[in-house]
Structure 1
Amino acid sequence: MARFRAKEWVFNVSGPSLGYAKTIKSPVFPTVIKDPIVGHVGTMSSDYSYDEQGQFYPFFIFTLSTIITLPLTYNLLAPSKDPEALAPRIQTAYKPEHGDLIQAQAKAHRRKQRRVKRAIAAFLGWAIMAGMLYLIVTTQRTTAKLWNPYDILGISESATEKQIKSHYKKLGLKFHPDKIRPDPAKNETAESLNDKWVEMSKAYQALTDEEIRNNWIQYGHPDGKQGFSIGIALPKFIVSDGNGKYVVLVYAMLLGVLLPYLVGSWWYGTQRLTKEGVLVESANSLFREYTEVTDEGDLITALSSGKEFRSLLKGEKAESGLSKLESRILEKGQITPYAGGLSDKDKNKLEHMESGVRRKVLALLWAYLGRVELDDPALTSAKYLTAPIAHALCRTSTAIALAYGNTIPLLASYHIAQRFVQAIPPKASPLFQLPHFTPAVVKAVEGDTKTHMSVQQFMELPDSSEKKIGHWERSPERATISDTTPLQVATAFFKVTGEKFIIPQSLVTFVVKGRFVPPGSTNIPAINEIDLEDVDPPEDDLDAMLGRKRTVKDANGNLITEEHKSVTPPITFAPYYARDQSPKWHIFLSDSKQERMAVPPFTFTTFDKPIYTPDGKPTYNVQTLKAQFAAPPQAGKYTFVMHLICDSYVGFDTKLDVTLSVEEASKAAQMAAEDEISEPEEDSLAGQMNLMKGGATAKRKPIANDDSDDDESGTEEDESDTSATNTDTEDES
């Protein structure tokens, strides 16, 4: 039987959550406070206790593991957005010499990109989370619940005092020790039945006292608002019996050593690399060697200063085999003066270079570009490893040239990047991109002419000429060339969306229309003139305005809106390059007179229409590329040179003269008003109303961007002439 003393109860409390017995005295009600998160158990006073039975620390560890593991898992499983991972691959059985070595280096790079360490960390994180979840489920079965008088009496918390008294009387008839007998089948004893009735009596007393019940309703506790203490969910044995110093040492190592080291490493890593992913030291070296007249040979010499190469040439590898390497690249070449493709100026720079490591790097770069056989496994492996590093450094040289705005070094950076992908020295023939084409084959094809033949020109040769050459057979490798498709520009013009004229400082859209035509193609369909128009999206179509959809004309000239789908071109055919390279197209405008860049490059990696059919045949779809920039602040005619450059193939570039006509704002408004008065367009509201009245309407014309001068392209009148005469591939010789 419980002992009652005028609202003061004395009883023993023990349980697995405390791990020890303690007598609690309360003038109103016995209180046990337990924080399920940190495992702290205590009374109204602030004190510290520990999860000795190990019931609550799994929550803490599970939470920490989740914070780390979930983002890490998402990073590993999220679809890659890199073009190299999304682009289709060219199927070919062609393997160059040392092809196995090149493929092994490419696979090693892909394994490094997968970040095996992160995958292992994610696996361990999930294992820890599973273990902690198991502990949480199993320990919850033995965890003591908070004392709740409503649960003890089995009554709703919304019950009135009258209902509570009535319910308590019914319980007394059933559970009072004088009314009930122990049931051995249920393992009941007189003592257990007595304890159960004591709990019911205490619950009833707590709910029938007005002050105690108000405390329970407002604060969730019969003694009113409670104080809480915060502790760490660690078992008591860790910080007792002399183990506390080890815990302090662990925390000191984690917070004082490991955490600062990780943060410092991350910060140092971000500061030592540029946004192009190369070392800042390398970028500084390229900056010091930059000049306004840097040509391709000068750039290759400058790239050899990159600090990234030092990781390949450590210790004995620094200068070993240098003499053999130089002798091979300086041998007499079949087409070029030297086997490595060097000029006399490049040879002079190599021989006067003092640093042995840099001199070896430069020799390896020329050996790679010239495809020179070195007869040394270590040198051959290093030769193919230097090319991707040099290609990355080319991006930094491009950024430096953009900062200065000079056209010559900018073009040199783009062209050298092409040649590192295809392993072709400067000024060498683009025919080296074809499988099985050696210097002897190229010499037989081109003869003694100093003008190099492009891939397109070679593929267009008649079969009789091929048989006379005798070095190019119809083999499965020839199909590879049909996938290395150049983008042939059909037209290029300027416009302002929704306007007929371009005024100063307006947002100009430069539109380039072209299609992919495989070299040597026959029966090429003519271009539909509708495809050369650029239709403005409706003003109320937000998806079309944001680029999620596009507005085009069907075969009947009606406006339709269709989904915008990005089409990725195939991975570059580059058998000598130990990386997966997705081709990119760069468009920029320059001033030919001053050799200065007028509009910075815009980069394109995807297109809006399929390039090939499902069975691999070309679609000849007209692709649309758009770049936006601010119009000049003054009216006038501005003639630019458009450069369309593919960074993965040699000889696929396009150079085109375009003219931007900027009208005075007042004059443009006056001309627009005259056009509206004279004859409304048929697709405008005024045009539809006029058509219903039986009046005439004007067809909507493409945006005119210049006058009818013969030397200026982009106008409505000479648009066909532009596509016929001004889109020839630039001579790379």
Structure 2
Amino acid sequence: MSGTDYSYDEQGQFFPIFILTVVGIVTIPLTYSVLKPSSDPGATAPRIKSDYRPEHADLIDTQRKAQRRKDRRLKRIITVVAGWAIMAFMAYLIVVTARTIPKIWNPYDILGISDSASEREIKSHYRKLSLKFHPDKIRPDPAKNQTLESLNDYYVELTKAYKALTDEEIRNNFIQFGHPDGKQSFSIGIALPKFIITDGNGKYVILVYAALLGVLLPYLVGSWWYGTQRMSKEKVLIESANNLFREYDEAITEGGIISALSTGVEFQQSLKGEKAESGLGKLESRILAEGTASTHAGGLSAKDVMKLEDLDGGVRRKALALLWAYLGRVDLDDPALDQAKLEAAPIAHALNSSFTAIALAFGTTAPILASYLTAQNLMQAIPPGASPLLQLPHFTPAIAKAVEGDSKTHLTLQQYMDLPESYRKRLSVGKGLLTEPQYQTAVKVARQLPRLQVEKGFFKVTGEKFIIPSSLVSMVVKGRFIPPGSENVPEINELDLEDIDPEEDDLDAILGRPKKAGKGQKQPADDKPVQPPLAYAPYFTRDYSPRWHVFLTDSKQGKIAVPPFTFTTFDKPIYDENGKPTFNMQTLKAQFQAPPQAGHYTFVMHLICDSYIGFDTKMEVTLVVEDASKADEFEAEDDISEPDEDSLAGQMHALKTGAPPPAKKKKKPVDEESSEEESNTEEEVDDTSETDTDTDEE
């Protein structure tokens, strides 16, 4: 039975390759994750220009910088740099280290003859070498660094090679085992220098391997797996999502949602130990103090106050109090409390996304709308039901109340900016109100906010004249970004309100995908998605890209009919190079399956921006589903005609009938207005099928 030989990497020619491979397996994927473009839409989005600095701006800037450092993944970058440095050093060692390439034992090479030599030629050649290198005939040459032992070994190799080609038994050994002496010992190569294994160091090597493979690797895999299992799709803890699920109620209001958000387990990480009780009394006294434009400074209703007081002390009660302090922009006169107040908002915003997903699963309209409004409140630091004017710089509840006067309803930003300039300025500037510079800053910001005004909404089936049961319907929304207070807004070009079907072979356009540039071509600038400016939210400590949600509801049942389609980019520029609005007509499309029966279906279409208050659109739209037989009759009349005389079909007709085919009838030209009918047919006398484009802005 053959033994086992261990060959060590004494020359260091394999050890660098081993290290290079192991480090490369980790470094290359990490490099890709660091260098790949950010999936966050706000990474490259423009910003709304303003020099406004809110209260505690230093704390807000500190948290934003900390978040940017976290997003840059500094530890990962350092690991990547170190990994490439190690790989470069190993590559250098591989290049400069002398390598010994093991040779396969070959009797022809040893004898120095060709593989095609005959047995007679082999014997003749061996006889000559034997006479020359026989130990009795040759003497070592010190100039060639020869010794008697090396000469004897060489002669033995010559003899083995000769016998491997002439002796039958030795030749069989060579053919079967690749060596004249038969099966050789099994050799294991260790890519480590011998001194690391020997001299008592072997136990340390075993410990290192045990730590790497038995501890570190299982820990990393387990951490990754546990992290994926404990987080929901909305990036919140599963335990928090379960708590929000238990808090869900079909009659829940915005204040109820804010209370539900305080159940998030994430707050326990930021309010550990003594932080849960520290300053709670002062915090509650500040938010429950009398407010300027509301009963309480924090904007709580009587029901919200009861919910807060019903909670026992601890993390949840303080988290809820911090949220109301943030929404009411209450100065807590304590740096630690003010910092905790600002930290609570992004946590609550993420939790609210999870609550929205839960509400969508239930499908009831009211909680879904409340969750979107809560997202707006958290983004703008405005309590539920407060004035939308608080979104403008320097506006306080007292100033907003003074501007609105005795009105029972709040002014939206667009209503405020639509006021005559002199009258608006008289309402806003003066003692106890805004100064002239503050007023100009507020107006400047208002004229940059991306308010999407819906101009038309309708339904269609691509490439078809009618919508039939169970067909794939496109809900098309046409709108323009018209910031509040915009001047010289151009009239609508009716052609921009049309939706022209793409070519039949343009699969990307039919499926709504962006066109891909050909090989070696650059993506056309017109085809690149356009990002809106980052949300103007001076109190929110994260950069956030606004999202627009379009969905249909059934007002009679109070249920969602078509789930939301979310849009973060648009197909045309929103602002020009000078920052002025372009008023380009934007197109939003959402596809869903038509009802299984023909009829007129009236829905309420909602378009909601999750970052600004008062920019939402609510309008009635009617989906007309025609019977499939009507569509078939139309296609038969439109497509089937007699064959032309010079066509193959015409010649076949002449052979069968003996008469030339009648001339092809020209199709009656279709009026451009009626060809754009889609789902809104004009056959109804009362025009009930036409989409109602009057918007009721919430």
> What TM-score do the two structures reach when normalised by structure 1?
0.80
User: Partners in 1 of 2:181 and 2:139 — Cα distance?
Assistant: 35
User: Partners in 2 of 1:601 and 1:283 — Cα distance?
Assistant: 20
- Map residues 159-174 of structure 1 onto 2, 5 A cutoff: 160-161=116-117
User: Partners in 2 of 1:216 and 1:494 — Cα distance?
Assistant: 82
Q: Which deviates more, 537-546 or 435-444?
A: 537-546
- Map residues 331-730 of structure 1 onto 2, 5 A cutoff: 331-469=289-427, 470=429, 471=434, 473=437, 475-476=440-441, 478-548=443-513, 564-676=527-639, 696-699=668-671, 701-708=675-682, 718=690, 722-723=692-693, 726-730=694-698
Query: 2:31 is paired with a residue of what secondary structure?
Result: helix
Query: 2:395 is paired with a residue of what secondary structure?
Result: coil
Q: Which amino acid aligns with 1:698?
A: V
Q: Which amino acid aligns with 1:702?
A: E
Q: Which amino acid aligns with 1:670?
A: E
* Per-residue deviation, residues 558-607 of structure 1 (Å, max 9, x unmatched): xxx99632111111111100000100111111111121111111111111
Q: What percent identity do the matched residue pairs reach?
A: 60
Are residues 539 and 587 of structure 1, via their aligned partners in 2, closer, same or farther at CA, if it must alter by over 3 Å? same
* Per-residue deviation, residues 354-409 of structure 1 (Å, max 9, x unmatched): 23321111111111001111111011000000000000010111011011101111
Query: 2:423 is paired with a residue of what secondary structure?
Result: helix
Residue 49 (structure 1) aligned with residue 16 (structure 2): no
Are residues 510 and 230 of structure 1, via their aligned partners in 2, closer, same or farther at CA, if it must alter by over 3 Å? farther
Are residues 237 and 593 of structure 1, via their aligned partners in 2, closer, same or farther at CA, if it must alter by over 3 Å? same
Are residues 377 and 666 of structure 1, via their aligned partners in 2, closer, same or farther at CA, if it must alter by over 3 Å? same
Q: Which amino acid aligns with 1:533?
A: E
2:650 match = none
> Which of 238, 241, 248 lines up with 1:283 in the alignment?
241
Q: In 2, are the aligned partners of 1:405 and 1:597 still within 8 Å (CA)?
A: yes
Q: Which deviates more, 614-623 or 596-605?
A: 614-623
Q: In 1, are the aligned partners of 2:480 and 2:584 still within 8 Å (CA)?
A: yes
Q: Which deviates more, 237-246 or 304-313?
A: 237-246
Q: Which amino acid aligns with 2:44?
A: L
TM superposition shift of 1:198: 5.6
User: Partners in 1 of 2:504 and 2:487 — Cα distance?
Assistant: 42
User: Partners in 1 of 2:440 and 2:108 — Cα distance?
Assistant: 88
TM superposition shift of 1:535: 1.8
> What TM-score do the two structures reach when normalised by structure 2?
0.84
Query: 2:440 is paired with a residue of what secondary structure?
Result: coil
* Per-residue deviation, residues 466-505 of structure 1 (Å, max 9, x unmatched): 3312236563554333331111111111111222111221
* Per-residue deviation, residues 595-637 of structure 1 (Å, max 9, x unmatched): 1111111111111111112222221111111111111122221
User: Partners in 1 of 2:79 and 2:592 — Cα distance?
Assistant: 46
Are residues 207 and 623 of structure 1, via their aligned partners in 2, closer, same or farther at CA, if it must alter by over 3 Å? farther
TM superposition shift of 1:654: 0.6
Q: In 2, are the aligned partners of 1:333 and 1:339 still within 8 Å (CA)?
A: yes
Q: Which deviates more, 372-381 or 329-338?
A: 329-338
TM superposition shift of 1:151: 6.7
User: Partners in 1 of 2:487 and 2:161 — Cα distance?
Assistant: 97
Are residues 58 and 259 of structure 1, via their aligned partners in 2, closer, same or farther at CA, if it must alter by over 3 Å? same
Q: Which amino acid aligns with 1:644?
A: L
Q: In 2, are the aligned partners of 1:152 and 1:199 still within 8 Å (CA)?
A: no
Residue 124 (structure 1) aligned with residue 82 (structure 2): yes
User: Partners in 2 of 1:206 and 1:92 — Cα distance?
Assistant: 94
Query: 2:95 is paired with a residue of what secondary structure?
Result: helix
TM superposition shift of 1:335: 1.1
Are residues 200 and 405 of structure 1, via their aligned partners in 2, closer, same or farther at CA, if it must alter by over 3 Å? same
TM superposition shift of 1:131: 3.0
Q: Which deviates more, 634-643 or 523-532?
A: 523-532
Q: In 1, are the aligned partners of 2:535 and 2:543 still within 8 Å (CA)?
A: yes
TM superposition shift of 1:205: 4.1
Tell me the number of residue pairs that the alignment of Structure 1 and Structure 2 aligns. 658
User: Partners in 1 of 2:442 and 2:267 — Cα distance?
Assistant: 34
- Map residues 178-257 of structure 1 onto 2, 5 A cutoff: 205=162, 232-257=190-215
User: Which runs of no fewer than 5 residues in structure 1 stay unpaired?
Assistant: 1-43, 552-560, 680-689
Query: 1:661 is paired with a residue of what secondary structure?
Result: strand
Query: 2:384 is paired with a residue of what secondary structure?
Result: coil
Q: Which amino acid aligns with 1:729?
A: E
- Map residues 15-94 of structure 1 onto 2, 5 A cutoff: 45=2, 47-53=4-10, 54-94=12-52
* Per-residue deviation, residues 660-717 of structure 1 (Å, max 9, x unmatched): 11122223212333444699xxxxxxxxxx999876532552243135569977x5xx
Q: In 2, are the aligned partners of 1:549 and 1:562 still within 8 Å (CA)?
A: no
Q: Which amino acid aligns with 1:300?
A: I
User: Partners in 2 of 1:592 and 1:57 — Cα distance?
Assistant: 72
Q: Which amino acid aligns with 1:500?
A: K
TM superposition shift of 1:410: 0.6
User: Partners in 1 of 2:663 and 2:378 — Cα distance?
Assistant: 60
User: Partners in 1 of 2:334 and 2:352 — Cα distance?
Assistant: 27
User: Partners in 2 of 1:223 and 1:534 — Cα distance?
Assistant: 85
Are residues 520 and 141 of structure 1, via their aligned partners in 2, closer, same or farther at CA, if it must alter by over 3 Å? same
TM superposition shift of 1:248: 3.5
1:558 match = none
Are residues 699 and 197 of structure 1, via their aligned partners in 2, closer, same or farther at CA, if it must alter by over 3 Å? farther
* Per-residue deviation, residues 435-484 of structure 1 (Å, max 9, x unmatched): 11112221221111111111111122222113312236563554333331
1:40 match = none
Q: In 1, are the aligned partners of 2:110 and 2:157 still within 8 Å (CA)?
A: yes
User: Partners in 2 of 1:145 and 1:353 — Cα distance?
Assistant: 81
1:685 match = none
Are residues 148 and 573 of structure 1, via their aligned partners in 2, closer, same or farther at CA, if it must alter by over 3 Å? farther
Q: Which amino acid aligns with 2:447?
A: S
1:297 match = 255
* Per-residue deviation, residues 67-106 of structure 1 (Å, max 9, x unmatched): 1111011111112121121212223221111112101101
Q: Which amino acid aligns with 2:322?
A: L
Q: In 1, are the aligned partners of 2:293 and 2:397 still within 8 Å (CA)?
A: yes
Q: In 1, are the aligned partners of 2:452 and 2:479 still within 8 Å (CA)?
A: yes
Are residues 169 and 531 of structure 1, via their aligned partners in 2, closer, same or farther at CA, if it must alter by over 3 Å? farther
* Per-residue deviation, residues 403-429 of structure 1 (Å, max 9, x unmatched): 110111111111001110110110011
